[in-house]
Amino acid sequence: MASGNQKHHAHRKTNAKGVAIYAIIAIIIIAIALYALTYRGVKDLGSSGNVTISANGTVFILGGVEYAAYMGSGSTLYISKQPSFVNPLMAVSLSKDTTIHANYMSKYADIGMELLSLNGTSALVHFITISQSAAVAPDSTMIRIVSTNSSAPMTSTISPSPSKSTNTTKPGSTTTTVATTITTTVPKPNGYSKALAALQASKYYSLMENYSELYHNTSYCTPSLYNKTYESNNYGVPPSGPQTYKNVSAFVPFNMTHTLDDVSGSLYRANYTTISKSTVTTGTALSMIINSSDGVISNVTYLGIFAGTNESALYQGYLSAVRIGGACGIYIP
């Protein structure tokens, strides 16, 4: 009897192991399928090839490097190496039947782009890789790195009151009033440059720059473009309820700015502020304290639209928006 039980237990253990193995195999198959679905739209050009790029965006591989690109207004192409978290966005003014040589974070041109045709907001573009050893000069007047948070000099204008006047009473003379405007540059507090350098070297700076660009580009997201983008990323199902353009565009910010202010001594506070049609998502989204003496960043706080998130979650959200592409990418859940 005991022997029979042992065989029964052994048989059940064997079955359990078999089920576990099949479960693991099923998980692997599902993971492979999901990976294939995720990258079904990624085209590998090798060293050269043509890509149709729309306002919704396209992801492709050139020379072993993955790029995300979308068309802006006119013949302006926006392109970024992946992941965009550590790579800036480059705007390229394409010209038909002319190769634009661009240097994406390199001394010499490393990528060539030629506009073959333009149809509304969609363009057929030919891409080629260019070896650094060829030392091809970039077409610098046709390319630019996009940045929405360029630091402006701190200036103030002083208008004396009352205005200085010179009056004469001699016969035949005229009365002349001279108004003087004095523009002075306000010196930045001690340690400001070090605090700014620490901020720009941090992982938060690049991430916020990228989010700022996404928010800024929503000005090009129209209701029809949003609906088309939403449906293409939700199996053809149109948006409804809270996911309609009217609701989403009212909640998602359309701009982001940042400030760096002296708090006390060597401590500075960096604030990132979003602006939207909703009071809920207008205000400080990210705040942190920077010690200019050692560059240490502390008290990182996520507020407003970023409340309840962290750097990792925001990074994944940004990659998702870039993967969807186009001006409406940040709108799509």
Show the tokens assigned to 140: 């610098």
pLDDT band at 330 (very low <50, low <70, confident <90, very high): very high
Is residue 204's pLDDT more than 70?
A: yes
Q: Give the C-alpha separation, 83 to 77, whole Å.
A: 18
Q: Tell me which DSSP letter residue 161 carries.
A: S
pLDDT (tens digit, 9 = 90+) per residue, 53-85? 988 778 889 998 888 888 888 899 988 877 655
Q: What is the pLDDT of residue 64?
A: 87
pLDDT (tens digit, 9 = 90+) per residue, 168-187? 444 454 444 444 444 334 45
Is residue 272's pLDDT more than 80?
A: yes
Is residue 284's pLDDT more than 90?
A: yes
Pick the closest to residue 88 from 193, 212, 199 (CA basis): 212
pLDDT (tens digit, 9 = 90+) per residue, 102-153? 886 567 888 999 999 998 888 999 999 998 888 888 888 888 877 533 333 3
Judge whether 3 and 10 are in contact, CB under 8 Å.
no
Is residue 21's pLDDT more than 70?
A: no
Is residue 289's pLDDT more than 90?
A: yes
Cα pseudo-dihedral 50, 54, 57, 61, rounded to 10: 0
Q: Give the C-alpha separation, 213 to 232, whole Å.
A: 23
Show the tokens assigned to 12: 């059940």
Q: What is the pLDDT of residue 27?
A: 52
Is residue 212's pLDDT more than 80?
A: yes
Which pTM does this prediction carry?
0.48
Strand, helix or coil at 231? Answer: helix
Q: Give the C-alpha separation, 320 to 330, whole Å.
A: 8
Q: Tell me which DSSP letter residue 221 carries.
A: -
H or E element at residue 204:
helix 203-217
Give the sheet arrangement for strand 267-275, strand by strand.
255-264, 267-275, 283-291, 297-302
pLDDT (tens digit, 9 = 90+) per residue, 245-260? 999 999 899 999 999 9
Judge whether 130 and 107 are in contact, CB under 8 Å.
no
Task: Give the burial class of 219: count Cβ atoms within 10 A of its Cβ; 0-12 exposed, 13-18 middle, 19 or more buried.
Answer: exposed
Q: Tell me which DSSP letter residue 187 carries.
A: P
- The DSSP string of 71-139 is E-STTEEEEEESSTTSS-EEEEE-BBTBEEEE-SSSSS--EEEEEEEEETTEEEEEEEE--GGG-PPP-
